[in-house]
Structure 1
Amino acid sequence: MINLDGNIVQEENASLSVFNRGFAYGDSVFETIRVISGKIMFWEDHYFRLMASMRIMRMEIPSSFSPEFLEEEIKEIIEANDLATSPARIRFAVYRLQGGYYTPATRDIGYVISAEAMENSFYIFNDEPYEIELFKDHYVNSGLLSTIKSNNRAVNVLGSIYARENAYDNCLILNEKKSVVEALNGNIFLVKGKTIKTPPISDGVLNGIIRKQLINILKKTEDYELEEASISPFELQKSDELFITNVAQGIQPVSKYRKKEFENKVAKDLLSKLNVKARLG
């Protein structure tokens, strides 16, 4: 079942026009949301990031788009797919209504919400081998547009193909200044001693939900020192640990980058703290 503009319809009936602006111009933003037994994880952060993304894209935000209304829309599609007592992954996409070419005929929007089952209720630590490499064929630009989740994901798609063709589990993306920005599917953190470093939003980093949660956790602990600063590719092999964060996986430790093999002690510790925070809401 799919929620199409507030109407619950069968997946085969949830059709969009070939002139849809999300398809024609990438004129769309989206959120990937984790729901556990009907409870939306980190809902406030998702809601405000979605609103910020729509404003950056100069979309007209409907007056009905309150946190309560959208929460009910998500819960309704969860129930329609019999996932009310199961872990689920939600994709909430907002697109500008069709009309016009590069210049839209309207700023009004439509939306689609889909749901699929997930295996685990909370984040499970994955210590399987996980090798990464740099993707240097294309770069992301440091700036506001790179911080939102839009349908313009060409670099991520091409990087993912490159990773698969070369038997890597993931790749790191660079910006135009040749600084490490993020992984293909999440934010990157580097551990050196007691210092945990992650690139700043100003480098063109996706404003990740789990990134924000971890930063808040790190600011409240004396075990580690957080540093938000640009990361040079040369720092990667000098670090003790690397790990990737996103809403679907939580924390994914990196085991190998080129000739360097990494530990995963800090990643494991932070994942337990993240699960506690998720349980508490």
Structure 2
Amino acid sequence: MVNFNGDLLPASSHFTNHHNRGLRYGDALFERIKSTGKSLLFLESHYFRLMASMRQLRMEIPMEFTLEFLQEEIDKTLTAAGLSGKPAGVRLTVFRQDGVGYLPESLEVSYLIEATPLAQATFALGATPFTADLFRDYYLQADGLSRLDHAGKLPQVLASIYARDNGLDTCLLVNHRKEVAGGIHGNLFLRKGNQIKTPPQGSGCAEGVLWKVLLKQKWAENPYEITEAVVSPFELQQADELFLLDSLTGIQPITHYRKAVYGTEASEYFTRGLNELVLTEA
């Protein structure tokens, strides 16, 4: 079941058409939220990120789009999908209403909520081994739109195909300045000793909610210092550890990049810390 503008419909329903602006022009935003079965993790942060993104794209925010309204609609969707009280991944998509030209006929929006089951409520360290390489065929544009989760994800799509065709688990993306921006899924972290770097917003990475949590959280007995700094491709093979961070799956260590092999010490530490936050949120 999916929730389209408040109506619960079978996923196979034809609830949109060829005039859909998300389909025609990528005129859409999305948020991916983890449900533990007891709570929607960091829902308030996801909500305010969505509102800020909608304002940036000059979408008209409906009066009813309160935090409480969206939580009720998500809960309704989870119940209809048989996922109430169970771990699930929620995708909330907002797109401008139908129109055939670049200039919108209306700034009003429609929304779609989908839910899929997850294996567990807590975060599990991603599977290893996990191999990566750089994707250089196309670059991310490091601008004000790159921090948003919008529907224009062709570089990620093509990088996913490249990874599959070359026997890789993932790829790292670079921007037009040849700086490392992040992964296909999630923000990148690079550890050298006890120093951890993550590409800044100016490099073209998305402003992920869990990424901001990891940066701002005061971690107990934290042996690491995290900074936002430009990451060059040269630094990747010199690192002691690489990992990706995604709102639904948590931390995925990269164990192999070209000839380099990495440890998972920081990945394990922050996974434990994130799971403590899950228990607090619940």
Measured against the shorter chain, the TM-score band is over 0.9
- 1:62 aligns with 62
Determine the C-alpha separation between the residues in 1 that align with 2:12 and 2:170. 32
- 1:126 aligns with 126
Write the letter of the residue equivalent to 1:141. Answer: Q
Note if contact 1:4-1:14 (Cα within 8 Å) is conserved in structure 2. no
Determine the C-alpha separation between the residues in 2 that align with 1:218 and 1:179. 28
> Matched residue pairs, number?
281
Determine the C-alpha separation between the residues in 2 that align with 1:219 and 1:177. 33
Write the letter of the residue equivalent to 2:231. Answer: I
Counting only pairs closer than 5 Å after superposition, residues 214-253 of structure 1 correspond to structure 2 as 214-217=214-217, 222-253=222-253
- 1:261 aligns with 261
What is the RMSD of the two structures over their aligned residues, measured on CA atoms? 1.3
- 2:188 aligns with 188
Q: CA deviation at 1:81?
A: 1.2
- 1:138 aligns with 138
Q: Find the residue that maps to 2:207 and give its secondary structure.
A: coil
Q: CA deviation at 1:40?
A: 0.3
Matching of residue 45 in structure 1 with residue 48 in structure 2: no
Counting only pairs closer than 5 Å after superposition, residues 69-80 of structure 1 correspond to structure 2 as 69-80=69-80
Matching of residue 25 in structure 1 with residue 25 in structure 2: yes
Note if contact 1:87-1:118 (Cα within 8 Å) is conserved in structure 2. yes
Write the letter of the residue equivalent to 1:115. Answer: A
Matching of residue 201 in structure 1 with residue 201 in structure 2: yes
For structure 1, the 5+ residue unaligned runs are: none
TM-score (norm 1): 0.97
How far does the alpha carbon of each residue in 1:155-183 deviate from its partner, in whole angstroms, 9 at most, with x for none?
00000000000011000000111000000
Q: CA deviation at 1:259?
A: 0.4
- 1:171 aligns with 171
Change in CA separation of 1:218 and 1:225 when aligned onto 2, cut-off 3 Å = farther
Determine the C-alpha separation between the residues in 1 that align with 2:172 and 2:205. 12
Determine the C-alpha separation between the residues in 2 that align with 1:209 and 1:14. 32
Write the letter of the residue equivalent to 1:116. Answer: T
Q: Find the residue that maps to 2:58 and give its secondary structure.
A: coil
- 1:278 aligns with 278
Percentage of matched positions with identical amino acids: 38
Write the letter of the residue equivalent to 2:110. Answer: G
Q: CA deviation at 1:224?
A: 1.2
Note if contact 1:217-1:273 (Cα within 8 Å) is conserved in structure 2. no
Write the letter of the residue equivalent to 2:78. Answer: I
Q: CA deviation at 1:221?
A: 5.2
Determine the C-alpha separation between the residues in 1 that align with 2:127 and 2:145. 33
Q: Find the residue that maps to 1:276 and give its secondary structure.
A: helix
For structure 2, the 5+ residue unaligned runs are: none
Determine the C-alpha separation between the residues in 1 that align with 2:234 and 2:91. 36
Determine the C-alpha separation between the residues in 2 that align with 1:110 and 1:173. 31
